[in-house]
Amino acid sequence: MMFNFVSSIRQNFLRKFCNPVSAANNGDSSSQINSVAASGSPQHVEAPQFHGKRWEEVSSWLATVKSGLTAEEALDRGINLLRGSAKVAFLVENRKKKIETWKALKMWATERFGKDEGAKLVEFHGFLSNPSKEKMPLSTFIATALEIGLETTMSNISIVKGIIANIPLKLRRMPEAEKAKTLDDLSLLMENWSAQGKLSWGEKKEPKTFSDKPRKKCNFCKKTGHTEDVCRKKSSKVNALLCRASGSHPLRVEGEINGRPASMLVDTGAKGLYVSGRTAEEADIDGSTPHAVTVADGRTTEALESDKKVLLSFKDTNQKTTAIIMPDLTESVILGREPLAKAKLVIDTESGEIKKKNSLTPGNRRKRKKSFKGGADIGALDTQEVTLETALPSTLGDARKELKAVLSKNEFDVGRTNVME
């Protein structure tokens, strides 16, 4: 069942893309078969042309060419059946060293086009990881990968798992794809996905670039990406943003963005929520509105403001907020002042942790200074104990002038001021 399903896909692909002679004859492969009757042999043996293509097995081709013929006849027949790159390779080699015997032709063809097991494995895995694979239909990719894999000594389950690991993520995450182990399982997957219209790479999401929209230029600072009315240099509002954690003990919290786990660097110099380009892609955050960000060293870098608010979760709090996407940000996520304030969290300077405002210990709370309400007594000036005899009557009001006069006297003058009269 597996080979019947794959056969038509593989033949169409090979005929269309890889067989120039067949294409030239509108798909008629009859001209590719050289029917040669073996001299003195009652059998009529057909031998195909050899182009040196990857899927052509040189050992079986050599055996077919030699069948029923003498070595001299097989030499002439083999040379006449060479086509394309195989013919060019033969002419080059024959120019260097004459190939005049069947043994020499067989040895050259085996060395030139034969494959050992290591080369076949490299070819299989190289095809699976080829970045240009999405240019061909997904069905063709699977069929070709299967064909290459079957040429190796790999087990069927290894071939199937290798192919499934390189199809689109939405398909390989399906339960039936994760359970597939045999060639029949792979064939059934292709049949079902094809019937459901799912056998495709899907729409490729093109990365958004800053050149998609006309570039704005500020008339104040002469830089692109913003206009004069929002220029941070003009309004002296600079959001200093750390693009890399500095210091030996950066403050971090673990949380989630749109359900994706993330380690967040807390930066009180930053204003909002900033994410790297990779994090934005993984958390499915899209942005199209240009947004200029000034970093700590004074440089202005371009960013994108998220089209939709993201779900931010950390420290048992959840909030929806706008994210700023910075493609070159080295940190995954930077948490600024506004998300912290919205979550009603503060930094405990003593423990170096983020806590809720009402969870701070009394020792960490700011002590309120007691204000002086007047009615002071002289004893407070020299820290002596105040008694009823030394207390200054509150009815005297402001006695600063007289007190200064007392303080200006030496020990012999005490008792001669008006205050003591």
Domain with residue 276: its CATH number is 2.40.70.10
Higher pLDDT, 152 or 245: 152
Is residue 2 over pLDDT 60?
Answer: no
| pLDDT confidence tier of residue 421, bands split at 50, 70 and 90 | very low
Look up the domain containing 34 and give its range: 2-114
Q: 229 in a domain, yes or no?
A: no
Stronger pLDDT, 238 or 241, i.e. the higher one: 241
pLDDT at 256: 93
Question: For residue 208, what pLDDT band results from cuts at 50, 70 and 90?
Answer: low
Range with lowest mean pLDDT among 57-61, 70-74, 281-285, 398-402: 398-402
Q: Are residues 248 and 345 in the same domain?
A: yes
Find the radius of gyration of the CA atoms of the chain.
42
Residues 165-181, mean pLDDT to the nearest whole number:
91
Residue 311 clears pLDDT 90, i.e. is over it: yes
Query: In terms of domains, do 271 and 170 share one?
Result: no
Name the least confident of 53-62, 95-104, 183-192, 378-387: 378-387
pLDDT in the model for residue 161: 92
Contacts for 189 with CB less than 8 Å, ≥ 6 apart: 176, 177, 180
Last residue of a domain, one of 67, 95, 114: 114
pLDDT at 203 (0 to 100): 67
* pLDDT value of position 49: 92
Residue 17 is assigned to a structural domain of this protein = yes
Q: What is the mean pLDDT of residues 114-135?
A: 82
Question: Looking at the predicted structure, is the pLDDT value of residue 392 above 60?
Answer: no
The C-alpha angle with vertex 72 and arms to 67 and 75, in degrees rounded to 5, equals 70
Indicate if 244 and 350 belong to the same structural domain.
Answer: yes
Question: In the predicted model, what is the mean pLDDT of the chain?
Answer: 74
Q: Are residues 388 and 335 in the same domain?
A: no
Say if 60 falls within a structural domain. yes
Of 114, 134, 158, the one marking the end of a domain is 114
Model confidence pTM above 0.85:
no
The pair of structure tokens assigned to 4 is 């019947």
Top-confidence residue, 242 or 205: 205
Do 110 and 125 sit in the same domain of this protein?
no
- On whether both 239 and 329 belong to a single domain, the answer is yes
pLDDT tier at 234, thresholds 50, 70, 90 = low
Q: Provide the pLDDT for residue 377.
A: 38
Dihedral, 145, 151, 153, 155 alpha carbons, nearest 10: 40
Q: How many of the other CB atoms lie within 10 Å of CB of 93?
A: 17
pLDDT of residue 90: 92
- Assigned domain for 226 exists: no
What confidence category does residue 296 fall into, taking pLDDT thresholds of 50, 70 and 90?
low
Residue 213 inside a domain? The answer is no
Contact yes or no for 78/105 (Cβ under 8 A): yes
pLDDT of residue 406: 52
Confidence at residue 174, expressed as pLDDT on a 0 to 100 scale: 92
Q: 């608010």: which residue's tokens?
A: 309
Determine the pLDDT at residue 366. 53
Higher pLDDT, 156 or 39: 156
Domain boundary, last residue among 46, 79, 114: 114
pLDDT of residue 209: 55
Q: If you write DSSP's letter for every residue of 100-149 in order, what string do you get?
A: -SHHHHHHHHHHHH---HHHHHHHHHHHHT-GGGGGS-HHHHHHHHHHHH
Stretch among 29-33, 245-249, 276-280, 361-365 having the lowest mean pLDDT = 29-33
Please indicate, yes or no, if residue 276 is contained in any of the structural domains. Answer: yes
* Of residues 169 and 395, more confidently modeled: 169
Shared-domain flag, residues 126 and 105: no
Q: How many structural domains are present in the chain? A: 4
pLDDT (0 to 100) of residue 184: 93
Average confidence (pLDDT) over 11-26: 43
Q: Could you give the CA distance from residue 367 to residue 300 in angstroms, rounded to a whole number? A: 41
Whether residues 246 and 346 fall in one domain:
yes
Q: Distance between CA atoms of 278 and 333, rounded to whole angstroms? A: 10
Residues 263 and 352 grouped into a single domain: yes
Are 247 and 345 contained in the same domain? yes
Tell me the mean pLDDT in the region 247-274.
Answer: 85
Within a domain: 364: no
By three-state DSSP, how is residue 160 classified?
helix
Q: 110-122: string of b/e by CB count within 10 Å (b at 16+)?
A: eeebebeeeebbe
pLDDT at 38 over 50: no
Confidence category of residue 15, pLDDT binned at 50, 70, 90: very low
pLDDT on residue 285: 92
Residue 209 has phi, psi (to 5 degrees) of -115, 160
In a domain, 308, yes or no: yes
Do 244 and 323 belong together in one domain? yes
Residue 34's pLDDT band, with cuts at 50, 70 and 90, is: very low
* Pair (348, 257) in one structural domain: yes
pLDDT at 402: 61
